[in-house]
Structure 1
Amino acid sequence: MINILLSLIAATSLGLSSNYWNSPDIKKSPEKADWYSEIPSVYPQIDTQALRRMLKQQAPTMSDAVINKVVTAVKCSSIYAVDNNNILSVIDYSLPSNQKRLWIFDLKNSKLLFHTYVSHGIKSGTFLTRYFSNKYNSKASSIGVYKTEKAYYGREGLSLRLAGLERQFNDNAMNRSIVMHGGWYMDEQFIKHYGRPGRSWGCPAVPLDLYQGIINTIKDNSLLIVYYPSDEWFGKSRFLTCDKNKNQMTSLADVKPVADEQEHRDDVFFAQVHKGGEDKPILVMPAPQYEAFFQSQAPLGRMLRRRINQQEYIALNTKELERLSQQKSQDAFQSVYFVIPTLRQVRGYYETEMKIINLGVITEINPSVSPMTKVKEYNVRFNSTASIRLQSTDRFIRWLGL
């Protein structure tokens, strides 16, 4: 410990920040690999009261609980000499997804720049954000403190890389390809119509009419604080406990997903027309026709993740197909389509787009039961071809469900 303190004094005397100790040229013993992250360096004093006043004035809907943690995180980032600019972004995942829960501030001019909607991961909940993960392929959001990196053009257009600064909470964000990007399912009219926005695979997606301005504002070294009232995060985050003795910190168990987070998946129907997995045509209906025929709101859980000609489409489930077969409405039949995913290369990336395939005009949909599997199937007859068989599945389909 004496050697550590002498090293810290030497660094201060030479004008070195704690970033010096992050250099790959500095060798650290395994048992002391993180000592520098627990000992505050000499740092410029943050006027926490002024920051608190600014947040209250510029973001009157931000709760005191969020403000308190944001102020602490900004103070701790200064203590740990995290290099950042004067832009601060805050996401409050304790709010439901149909509320504006992203704030972006100019700290130099004490001004709110943006206040808008932001998505959470599809495995983090439906309307509420309730589960977080730092694991690969979890499709969940991650809480904690981030630093923004460079913007780039990817499969979602202009996007922003995010570097998670918190071990156990978000330090896998970069490798998980967690980035900020725009999403058509985040637009305000979409949210008002369907009651909530769509969900990403863990990325904080923002409205298309704002995403370029947001990304160009917060890129290159700004802080992003993603808040949720997690006791685990409160107790273990070095950005929330920098003024506490390590011995005073409570040891907390990991947060587990609540029991009802396993979202029910309806059966959808695909056509048995050729071999393949997810490339089999799936039966869908445009959202406006769906709502008109079934007299109910289109379910986002069965909405295609890609629009076709700026139109949303819904995959049909067993009850809906049964109703179609019983009513035999030719108008409804003409609104039913088969779609298939295709890949196209954009800016060096492959992205999925949905394509309608023409199998003819549907004239009949008749149910049948397989005696071997007991799975309900349907036969679809067209005006121009022989009938084809539909089979149901409730498996996860990567391009289905928002």
Structure 2
Amino acid sequence: MIGRRGLVMSGAAAAVSALAGSSKHLVAPAAKPTAAPQAPSLAQARPAMVPAAPTPEPQIVREALAALDGHGRRVPHHDRIAVVDFSVPSAQPRMKVIDIASGKAKDFLVAHGSGSDPGHTGYLHKFSNVPDSNASSQGAFVTADYYVGKHGRSQRLLGLDPTNNNALERAIVVHGAWYANADMIPAHGKLGRSQGCFAVGETELAALFEHLGPGRMIYSAKA
């Protein structure tokens, strides 16, 4: 039998290869988020106002899959992983939820923290794990429970690495925000900034929750 490590690492080649050579994406069903999402169906094109999603750096994808394998049982579900390539500007979809077996992905716009981009250039310049830094953090997170807060329906994250292990204390979560909506791109050429959270468009939040659910990894890095 092939062990967990074999399954995950065999998925690395499929994921990297498929992302480099395929423009197909996955789309979540239009349904209320659940703790056990159904497998997404194949997709429709992204609106013209949003630039085409770039392919993540292959090294970042390999690092993400190695982290998924390395953290083992701390991440209950190994079928999908979200990879955020913060080398890419906020005007482009830089979060990809990757199906490990097929390598197919669904892409999302996602904001970075104001502390990572003090001049609001649209690019992440630095990571931080320091409380009150308002910066994005690097490393592997595991998605936790849903709650309703000041941004509406949100999802807590647990940082698994020394570079992000203050995530819970810092209230680094996944949430929707008007400043991460697609119409920010034609209007301003970039998204707004969060306080370090993974903020996505308000109309995209349900799809992201449907793809991830609790117990899956988000991997954040920059080439």
Give the superposition deviation at 1:216.
Answer: 3.4
Aligned to 2:153: 158
* Residue aligning to 1:214: 208
Q: CA deviation at 1:105?
A: 2.1
> Aligned equivalents of 1:92 and 1:62: distance in 2?
6
Change beyond 3 A, Cα 1:44–1:51:
closer
* TM-score, normalised by the number of residues in structure 2: 0.76
Runs of at least 5 residues in structure 2 that lack an aligned partner in the other structure: 22-54
Question: What is the DSSP-based 3-state SS (H/G/I as helix, E as strand, rest coil) of the residue aligned with 2:153?
Answer: strand
Partner of 1:93: 86
Gaps of 5+ in 1: 1-41, 230-402
Which segments of structure 1 move beyond 4 Å, counting only runs of 4 or more?
none
| Mapping of residues 236-251 of structure 1, within 5 Å | none
Structure 1 distance, partners of 2:207, 2:110, is: 14
Q: Give the alignment partner of residue 178 of structure 1, picking from 149, 160, 172.
A: 172
Separation (CA, whole Å) in 1 of partners of 2:203 and 2:133: 28
Q: Which amino acid aligns with 1:56?
A: S
TM-score, normalising length: structure 1: 0.43
CA–CA separation in structure 1 for the residues paired with 2:136 and 2:187: 24
Tell me the residue number matched to 1:111: 104
Change beyond 3 A, Cα 1:129–1:45: same
The partner residue of 1:120 within 91, 107, 112 is 112
Q: Which residue of the partner structure matches residue 48 of structure 1?
A: 9
Structure 1 residue 44: deviation in Å? Answer: 4.2
Percent identical pairs in the alignment equals 28
Cα distance between partner residues in 2 of 1:197 and 1:44: 37
Give me the CA root mean square deviation: 1.9
Larger Rg: 1
Residue by residue, what CA displacement relative to the aligned partner does 1:25-46 show, whole Å, maximum 9, x if unpaired? xxxxxxxxxxxxxxxxx96433
Between the aligned partners of 1:200 and 1:215, the Cα distance in structure 2 is 18
Query: Residues 47, 171 of structure 1: CA spacing in aligned structure 2 closer, same or farther, 3 A cutoff?
Result: closer
Shift of 1:110: 4.5
1:64 and 2:58 are equivalent in the alignment: yes
Task: Give the 3 Å change call, closer, same or farther, for CA 157–129 of structure 1 in structure 2.
Answer: same
2:169 and 2:146 map into 1 onto residues whose CA distance is: 16
**Aligned partners of 2:61 and 2:83 also within 8 Å:** no
**CA shift in 2, pair 1:69/1:109, >3 Å:** closer
- Residues in 2 aligned to 1:56 and 1:109: alpha-carbon distance in whole angstroms: 10
Q: 2:222 aligns with which of 215, 218, 228?
A: 228
Question: Does the CA-based 8 Å contact 1:121-1:201 persist in structure 2?
Answer: yes
Determine the structure 1 residue equivalent to 2:129: 134
Once the two structures are superposed, what CA deviation does each residue of 1:342-398 show, in whole Å capped at 9, x if it has no partner? Answer: xxxxxxxxxxxxxxxxxxxxxxxxxxxxxxxxxxxxxxxxxxxxxxxxxxxxxxxxx
String of CA shifts for 1:52-98, please: whole Å, max 9, x gaps.
Answer: 222331465122222221232223223xx333212211101111111
Q: Does 1:193 align with 2:187?
A: yes
Counterpart contact for 2:15–2:102, Cα < 8 Å: no
Matches within 5 A, 1:271-286: none
Q: Which has the higher contact order (CA 8 A, sep 6+)?
A: 2
Q: Distance in 2 between matches of 1:110 and 1:56?
A: 7
Residues 158, 212 of structure 1: 8 Å contact kept: no
- What code does the residue aligned with 2:17 have? K
The answer to whether structure 1 residue 83 and structure 2 residue 48 are counterparts is: no
Q: Aligned pair in 2 of structure 1 residues 171, 217: CA closer, same or farther (>3 Å)? A: same
How many Å separate the matches in 2 of 1:59 and 1:189? 27
> How big is the shift at 1:47?
4.7
Aligned 8 A contact 1:56 1:62 in 2: no
Provide the C-alpha distance between the structure 1 equivalents of 2:171 and 2:8, rounded to a whole number of angstroms: 35
Amino acid at match of 2:109: Y
Query: Counterpart in 2 of 1:363?
Result: none
- How many angstroms apart in 2 are the aligned matches of 1:109 and 1:49? 11
